[in-house]
Chain A
């Protein structure tokens, strides 16, 4: 009790052997383990780099020659187009499915659940093949009154180009996954928000668009970023439809010059580069939708790195 009544905190007279002066300092952090792991990692990096540089079969001159080539670049552009359009289709289909599954009308909810069940259950590769071979199932696609007159009829092979087949296959499959993500987002918004909006006389669409969706975004955005990155890579499956996206462009080149490994590396480097850019974009979008939450987002390594980089551009005195 003498320690609490005595003003001097450095007093050790209480006889319990605890040095109060030392307690006033901040605890010493031990970095031993961190140094050890850093050492191991550095060693592994060195070994990998050594083999990359010295193994002649990587043919780095060939890799970089083709990396910057016109043919791979136009393949990359098509890959980006496919990714963007399929994601837009996927997100729109996902929002519609999510709303349908939450609808009070159980017929609508049932149809949406069936759609999700089907498109999540069949591998996307198989779906792409089906869309590619649609002409074998429905040689002609027509618009008209069922069992009545036709207004419009077209050869399926003309209508469903490899590009459209790819968009349908990737987009609808993505929609099934996005519906789960959007649904989780919508359900994450507190019921009080909808009630407050209702009490103000807001219409249902306004409530969805202005109140619920913006708040659901916080939950929807991070997995959607992952889906986009995943989609970028999944587009490589479209090579089976002979659509010259990035991978198929590389395949066309190496089937002629047999430089298989260097071309696969060149394509991989492009995929890596774009996914890195997408991750960076995701960081900024997440930050935007976190506004008003009053909390610092604390998540990925990238986020931690970016936050640190930003705070270091400020002088110590001025806090953001």
Chain B
């Protein structure tokens, strides 16, 4: 079964006169891990943010799990989604940020339970149990009552992953989840992500960790100046890139 989770066609995004995405096409199937690499400013974050509507599109479309992103079809016309509709479609998409963005005024457990309780109106006790299971999965049960400020970067990022998973998303987006971490903390976060991939989660990962992309990724995408330059099997792309720009980029980072 190869049902499509993300279908992006001709995605365009401008910030004023700056053309950041110039027509991105991408298809992601269930259970696949897609890694995106590319130079700074190439539009990787912007594309990821378009998928869950943190940015609006200026052209093209994205369909996530059978639902158009940001718009709805009504009486043969496209209409913008309301704020509530946008929020509802984000429930199915988890996102992990480079800067963690944990809620500092809540404990680790409260961070994880907040959205399922407030958004999905789930039973507190059930959510709490699930949160503890997730914390166990990321190896942080002992930190349940701790505030984020008292955690290391790697621990914070693992909590952020658990927080996103608590909404039981169908798709997880990672925007350079290890870039803000000290080198010795990168491994613990990548291990959690590897476990998630093994469990069959559909993931899009913007990363500079070529080792992770090679071992865990099903697809590797190289973006430059708002376009997908190269798309293929990670080993193939990393070992024998077809395009000059990919070669130049890899020569710099490898």
- Identify the A interface with B (CB < 8 A): 190, 192-193, 195-204, 206, 210-211, 214-215, 289, 291-294
| 6 additional contacts (CB under 8 A) given A192-B97, A196-B160 | A195-B54, A199-B93, A200-B115, A201-B115, A206-B118, A215-B104
* A residues less than 8 Å from B103 (CB atoms): 193, 196-197, 211, 215
* B residues less than 8 Å from A214 (CB atoms): 105
CB distance from B225 to the nearest CB of A (A): 25
How many of chain B's residues have a CB under 8 angstroms from any CB in A? Answer: 33
Cross-chain contact B87 with A196 (CB below 8 angstroms): no
Cross-chain contact A201 with B149 (CB below 8 angstroms): no
B243 is an interface residue with CB less than 8 A from chain A: no
Cross-chain contact A193 with B101 (CB below 8 angstroms): yes
Docked CA distance A144–B115 (Å) = 44
* A residues less than 8 Å from B107 (CB atoms): 292
* A residues less than 8 Å from B115 (CB atoms): 197, 200-202
Cross-chain contact B101 with A294 (CB below 8 angstroms): no
* B residues less than 8 Å from A292 (CB atoms): 104-107, 147-149
Docked CA distance A289–B104 (Å) = 11
**A/B interface sample: 22 pairs, CB < 8 A:** A192-B97, A193-B101, A195-B54, A196-B102, A198-B54, A198-B90, A199-B94, A199-B97, A200-B90, A200-B94, A200-B119, A201-B91, A201-B92, A204-B87, A211-B103, A214-B105, A292-B105, A292-B106, A292-B107, A292-B147, A292-B149, A293-B149
Cross-chain contact B104 with A202 (CB below 8 angstroms): no
- Mask of B61-104 contacts with A, CB within 8 angstroms, 1/0: 00000000000000000000001100110111111010101111
* A residues less than 8 Å from B106 (CB atoms): 292
B164 is an interface residue with CB less than 8 A from chain A: yes
Nearest residue in A to B91 (C-beta to C-beta)? A201
Interface centre among B54, B83, B90, B105 (most CB of A within 10 A): B105
B167 is an interface residue with CB less than 8 A from chain A: yes
From 8 to 51 in chain B, residues with beta carbon under 8 angstroms from any chain A beta carbon are: none
* B residues less than 8 Å from A202 (CB atoms): 87, 114-115, 118-119
Docked CA distance A202–B119 (Å) = 6
Cross-chain contact A204 with B83 (CB below 8 angstroms): yes
Interchain Cβ contacts within 8 Å, total number = 80
- Identify the B interface with A (CB < 8 A): 52, 54, 83-84, 87-88, 90-95, 97, 99, 101-107, 114-115, 118-119, 147-150, 160, 163-164, 167
Cross-chain contact B119 with A291 (CB below 8 angstroms): no
Across the interface, B84 reaches (CB within 8 A) one of A203, A210, A291, namely A203
Docked CA distance A198–B88 (Å) = 10
Nearest residue in B to A213 (C-beta to C-beta)? B105
Cross-chain contact B105 with A291 (CB below 8 angstroms): yes
> Given A214-B105, A293-B104, do A198 and B87 touch, yes or no (CB 8 Å)?
yes
Cross-chain contact A201 with B147 (CB below 8 angstroms): no
Docked CA distance A190–B148 (Å) = 15
Nearest residue in A to B160 (C-beta to C-beta)? A196
The 8 closest A-B CB pairs, nearest first, are A201-B91, A294-B149, A196-B101, A200-B115, A292-B147, A199-B95, A192-B101, A201-B90
> Given A192-B97, A291-B147, do A201 and B88 touch, yes or no (CB 8 Å)?
yes
Cross-chain contact A200 with B167 (CB below 8 angstroms): yes
* B residues less than 8 Å from A204 (CB atoms): 83, 87
* A residues less than 8 Å from B95 (CB atoms): 196, 199
Docked CA distance A192–B94 (Å) = 15
Docked CA distance A291–B83 (Å) = 31
Nearest residue in B to A195 (C-beta to C-beta)? B54
Docked CA distance A221–B238 (Å) = 54
Docked CA distance A292–B88 (Å) = 29
* A residues less than 8 Å from B119 (CB atoms): 200-203, 206
* A residues less than 8 Å from B148 (CB atoms): 292
Across the interface, B87 reaches (CB within 8 A) one of A190, A201, A210, A291, namely A201
Cross-chain contact A199 with B149 (CB below 8 angstroms): no
CB distance from B171 to the nearest CB of A (A): 12
Docked CA distance A87–B96 (Å) = 40
Docked CA distance A182–B105 (Å) = 18
